[in-house]
Amino acid sequence: MLINSIALLSVLGWTSAQATSAAHPPPKPTSSTEQCQPYSAPIVQEILPNFPPIWEPATIVEGDTTAQNKFDEIKQVLPSYIKPKGTHDGDFSAVKYDPADPDCWFTRSKCTQPKVEGLSEDLATLPEPNTWGLGFDDGPNCTHQTFMSYMKENNLTASLFYIGSNVLNWPYEAQQGREDGHELCSHTWSHHYMTSFDDEGAFAELYYSIQAIKQVTGVTPTCWRPPFGDIDDRIRMIAEGLGLRTALWEYDTNDWKLAMADTTPEDVRKNYDEVFDAAKAGEFDDHGTIVLTHEITGETMDMFMEMYPKIRENFEYVVPLSAATNTTNLYVEEDAEDGKVFSDYVYDVYGSYVQGPSSTNNDYHPQPTATGWEGPLATVANPTVAEVEAATPTKDQASEGDADVGGEGGSGGDNGSESDAKNNTNTKPDGKTRISNFHPEWNNNNSNNDGSSEDSAAVASIAKPLLTSSALLLVITTVLSS
Ligand SMILES: *[C@@H]1O[C@H](CO)[C@@H](O)[C@H](O)[C@H]1NC(C)=O
Ligand SMILES: *[C@@H]1O[C@H](CO)[C@@H](O)[C@H](O)[C@H]1NC(C)=O
Ligand SMILES: *[C@@H]1O[C@H](CO)[C@@H](O)[C@H](O)[C@H]1NC(C)=O
Ligand SMILES: *[C@@H]1O[C@H](CO)[C@@H](O)[C@H](O)[C@H]1NC(C)=O
Ligand SMILES: *[C@@H]1O[C@H](CO)[C@@H](O)[C@H](O)[C@H]1NC(C)=O
Ligand SMILES: *[C@@H]1O[C@H](CO)[C@@H](O)[C@H](O)[C@H]1NC(C)=O
Ligand SMILES: [Zn+2]
């Protein structure tokens, strides 16, 4: 019943929620048909009742007081002048919208600089020249084995924008994304147009996708990308209240259209070529870019692998969005490994020496600037993990704050000037001084790295037990409810 109403999903033949029955051991499939046999992991069976129905537009689950309380806090600061727009499937034909774009509605205007004062700019381009910001939407997909191996062989780390419903349907694939060291981000619960939701629905779409990723992979993401790029300032504030940085894109490969009858691989190659042509024309000599690509089907992944050599010919660096923005706090959990700043990343992967950053965006969530440092959102955007996952707040959580995803500022009072970079400290609004973790050999000596930045052991330890120790998997008889 639900899928019929979701145009995109139907087109792509996505299946709906999976239910249960018999048992068999975890498979090691090679063909995509085998890989895409639905299964049900015990971990998912346990938590399923705490989530909205898979692939259905989310609302707060009855009795989920944690979610309700969180929403009630965020709701207080949402702008009432921005109303929901259009339908969940993206029919905006009935929407009368001021051409002056008061809501900073990306769908209409490609706006990435919020009109609500204090909201962080969306990430769409990158400060680093000749850099390709690598992200894949709509995963985890059941056939991603070859693709994941390819990324590993080529030392690629990506930002993976996972759909919550996919995470619960394909939990082991989601775990592999984390185990392989990619950065996990949210792509909502059910992949609908976010501006169409009322406040509660939009909250629930983000909240439960964060929860799905946390419950299945062990980490709480700090980044997200709106499906179809459908975002306005109301949605930005809800995301910020949940500690999520917003990533959009500058170029679109439209690779997902490979699933449509009227789109050929040649069409998609042309879209990639446009980016390469821009690179050849010098477009990225002074900044980098984010190109939208998908993990949605085997075809989109194949296309990326085909194109990757050309990407390397035209771009010096291919990096995950966290590295592109010197964002070291990949996840809310303090014991999760840190991300790398750009200079560390390109040194480790490409052996390149570049100037280290003058600061890092390493707080636990984007700075709750929407209503000022002291404003209501400052109390709302609290440690997600404490409220959401009942974990103990850590020492720094209450006071940290300096994120600036947009690439402007974010440097704690030194105007981001690179000439200051030799002092790799930066003062927080609370007066504390933070120390960045870039390479001491080309920066000064107070770079007292806390040693956690390359601790990938933490990654492996989370997924492995789940993958290997669960004796039985419940096989699913897929219930196609459509
Ligand atoms: C990946 O990194 C490893 C170790 O740093 C290196 O030996 C290998 O050549 C790299 N592979 C590619 C394709 O860059
Ligand atoms: C994953 O990829 C396969 C193979 O291309 C495709 O048939 C399937 O619909 C995709 N699954 C989802 C949930 O997108
Ligand atoms: C990240 O650090 C580099 C220096 O390695 C700097 O050029 C760049 O502007 C920084 N990016 C952000 C978003 O702060
Ligand atoms: C930051 O920039 C502003 C405007 O460009 C300037 O007035 C101010 O002095 C700068 N501050 C620092 C610390 O460089
Ligand atoms: C570097 O930091 C020290 C204190 O840690 C300060 O005295 C000095 O002025 C700073 N230098 C620059 C260039 O900011
Ligand atoms: C950093 O400091 C250590 C001792 O604190 C010293 O041995 C080392 O030479 C210094 N490195 C640089 C690059 O200054
Ligand atoms: Zn998507």
pLDDT over threshold 60, residue 105: yes
Ligand 4 test: best mutation among 359, 408, 414, 415, most atoms within 8 Å of CB?
415
Give percent of the chain with pLDDT exceeding 90.
56
pLDDT over threshold 70, residue 360: yes
Q: Looking at residue 70, what DSSP letter applies?
A: H
pLDDT over threshold 90, residue 420: no
Give the ligand whose atoms come closest to the C-alpha of residue 411: 3
Task: Spot the catalytic one: 144, 182, 294, 365.
Answer: 294
Is the C-beta atom of 14 inside 6 A of ligand 2? Answer: yes
Q: What is the pLDDT of residue 141?
A: 96
Q: What is the pLDDT of residue 120?
A: 80
**Both structure tokens of 338:** 């840190």
Compute how many other C-beta atoms are within 10 angstroms of the C-beta atom of residue 106.
24
Q: What is the pLDDT of residue 117?
A: 78
What's the mean pLDDT in 331-356?
Answer: 91
Is 439 designated active site?
no
- 3-328+459-475 CATH fold: TIM Barrel (3.20.20)
Q: Where are the alpha helices (DSSP H) in 226-341?
A: 233-241, 265-280, 298-314, 321-324
Q: If we measure between CA atoms, which residue out of 143, 111, 119, 130 comes closest to residue 36?
A: 143
The answer to whether 332 and 385 have CB atoms below 8 angstroms apart is yes
Measured N-to-C along each axis, helices 233-241 and 199-217 cross at an angle, to the nearest 10 degrees, of 40
Query: How many angstroms does the Cα of residue 112 sit away from the middle of ligand 7?
Result: 18
**Both structure tokens of 394:** 């850590």
Phi-psi region of 384 (alpha: psi -120 to 50; beta: other; left: phi over 0): alpha
- Ranked by mean pLDDT, which of 16-20, 52-56, 394-398 comes out on top? 52-56
Strands 317-320 and 125-126 turn out to be unpaired
pLDDT confidence tier of residue 336, bands split at 50, 70 and 90:
confident
Q: If we measure between CA atoms, which residue out of 188, 176, 215 comes closest to residue 47?
A: 215
pLDDT over threshold 60, residue 404: no
pLDDT confidence tier of residue 199, bands split at 50, 70 and 90:
very high
Q: Looking at residue 247, what DSSP letter applies?
A: B
Is 187 designated active site?
no
pLDDT over threshold 90, residue 125: yes
**Burial class of residue 428 (count of CB atoms within 10 Å of its CB; 0-12, 13-18, 19+):** middle
Query: How many angstroms does the Cα of residue 142 sit away from the middle of ligand 2?
Result: 7
Helix H or strand E segment including 32: helix 32-35
Which atom belonging to ligand 5 lies closest to the Cα atom of 414? 14
Task: Spot the catalytic one: 137, 180, 199, 402.
Answer: 137
Residues with CB under 6 A from ligand 3: 127, 325-326, 341-343, 354-357, 407, 410
Q: What is the pLDDT of residue 30?
A: 63
| C-alpha 344: how far from chain center | 21
